[in-house]
Amino acid sequence: MAKTKRSAPEIEEKWFPVVLAILAAIAFSYSVRMTLARYDYTFLIAESLLHGHVGWQTQPPSWLNEMIAGPGEYYSVFPLGAVLSVLPVVLIAHLGVLGSTPQNFLVSLLVGLCVYFFYLLAGLEPNSRPRRVMLALFPIFATWSWCNLGFAGAWQIALGFALVGQAAALYFTFQRRWPLVAGAFFAMAFGNRTELILTLPIYLYFWSDPPVRRHSFNFQAWDKSLRGSWKSLGKFLVIPIALGLCTAAYNYARFGSIFDFGYTHITNLEKEPWYRHGLFSLYAIPWNVFKMLFEGMEDIHYFPYLRPHPFGGSIFLSSPFLFLLFREGGNLKALCWSTIGLLTFVLWCHGNPGGWQYSYRYAMILLPWMFFLIARNGPRKLTTTEVTLFLVSVVLSVNAVYHFLWTTKMHP
């Protein structure tokens, strides 16, 4: 049978998101200066894995103070998924292709993938191309993601993988139904940010029945659907289960317990005032709420007269575009807000709001669900309000990138 020729508009639509992603990655790469790239915990452990060790064999430099001393080795507190995520880049770097700091290539790649998948996700609704472009760029360039990913430390890279993993998992669940690939990207997401395992029931629900449920959310007859969709569910779960078992073995090999990720072994951690009630505690909620929602900016006596606070800041002041979350309309609204609420509660219980950062870096894991709300609750074409809020958010991000990454006036 002869192949059907693609029309010019179809070819253009196929390649447009690729070109947009490449341009975004290039723009990001040249706009940042990766000031925390030396905090390469996951790169060091990935290199150790290549040599058959779960820990670093020599004493790490003094600034890597989150390495845990073990019998003859030094272990990282980052989960196995975060280490495996950077392993391909470490392999390529060994060929001498990426230079001495492969983080630049990796983070730029993550940015490009984010833009690519968010552009495709924006096509779930009949949005115009200009609006899809704006929506695709928003999670990186109109939020705190631009500056925080620009630091390129192991913590920020893990958040970048979590963001890409969620965006891709949602795309291969809602738009291009491919359970094995969706499961692999979900594993990438929770492998880098463990709290994202809490979103597993959502994916199980939408893989428990044919695509008719993609635009609805109703738990009735879920058990029956699960029994009838075992093949898709099995394909989705195979890689996450494999990662979970490998992570358990990895934890046991390092600390003698499958549930011990090593955070409590960090030197003097228990002496830090924000952890006096434990790594997670309800006592931490007020401070996290203030940092995430109400922390303002600092006054300075020179242009632009305001600069971000270096240890937190309101996500709405750093990205006014997020005020669009509260518009009426859109399906999956209850699902998105419930997911945002659940993940936010976990983040707020963490003793430390994130340390050195622009705005509230942990909230990067909420952006895919915020994206869904904004993409679905507005008009299908750009409006003056949307463009204005987007541009203001981009300007605020540029201001943060300049102050954090290109001046010496702000440093940890």
Is 202 domain-assigned?
yes
Cα–Cα distance for residue pair 34/122, rounded to 1 Å: 30
Distances (CA, A) of 371 to 77, 140, 267: 30, 11, 38
- Per-residue pLDDT band at 291 (split at 50, 70, 90): very high
The predicted-structure confidence for 2-13, as pLDDT tens digits, reads as follows 455 655 565 657
The predicted-structure confidence for 11-31, as pLDDT tens digits, reads as follows 657 889 999 999 999 999 999
What pLDDT does 144 receive? 97
pLDDT > 70 in the chain, percent: 92
Q: Is the CB of residue 157 less than 8 Å from the CB of residue 48?
A: no
pTM of the full predicted structure?
0.91
Q: How many domains does the chain have?
A: 1
Please state which of the ranges 23-27, 162-166, 220-224, 300-304 shows the lowest mean pLDDT.
220-224
What pLDDT does 175 receive? 87
What mean pLDDT is predicted for residues 379-394? 95
Higher-pLDDT residue of 166, 309: 166
Nearest to 398 by CA among 37, 133, 146: 146
The predicted-structure confidence for 56-91, as pLDDT tens digits, reads as follows 888 888 888 889 888 888 999 999 999 999 999 999
Q: Does residue 339 surpass a pLDDT of 80? A: yes
Q: Is the CB of residue 349 less than 8 Å from the CB of residue 284?
A: yes
Is 6 domain-assigned?
no
What mean pLDDT is predicted for residues 333-358? 94
Q: Does residue 306 surpass a pLDDT of 90? A: no
Is 411 domain-assigned?
no
The predicted-structure confidence for 168-220, as pLDDT tens digits, reads as follows 999 999 988 899 999 999 999 999 999 999 999 999 888 876 544 444 545 44
Higher-pLDDT residue of 270, 399: 399
Q: Is the CB of residue 324 less than 8 Å from the CB of residue 366?
A: no
Q: Which long-range contacts (CB under 8 A, 24 or more apart) does 44-48 make?
A: 44/76, 45/75, 45/76, 45/78, 45/83, 46/83, 46/84, 46/86, 46/87, 46/90, 47/90, 48/73
What pLDDT does 316 receive? 96
- List CB contacts of 327: < 8 A, sequence separation 6 or more: 374, 377, 378
Q: Does residue 321 surpass a pLDDT of 60? A: yes
Q: Which domain holds residue 181?
A: 15-405
The predicted-structure confidence for 89-140, as pLDDT tens digits, reads as follows 999 888 877 776 789 999 999 999 999 999 999 998 888 999 999 999 999 9
What mean pLDDT is predicted for residues 337-348? 96
What mean pLDDT is predicted for residues 280-296? 94
What mean pLDDT is predicted for residues 289-293? 95
How close are the terminal C-alpha atoms of the chain, in Å? 64
Cα–Cα distance for residue pair 293/232, rounded to 1 Å: 39
Burial class (CB in 10 A: 0-12, 13-18, 19+), 86: buried
Is 297 domain-assigned?
yes
Is 134 domain-assigned?
yes
Is 278 domain-assigned?
yes
Q: Which of 201-215, 217-231, 242-256 has the highest mean pLDDT?
A: 242-256
Cα–Cα distance for residue pair 355/159, rounded to 1 Å: 14
What pLDDT does 304 receive? 73
Mean pLDDT (the chain) is 88
Is 4 domain-assigned?
no
Is 410 domain-assigned?
no
What pLDDT does 409 receive? 76
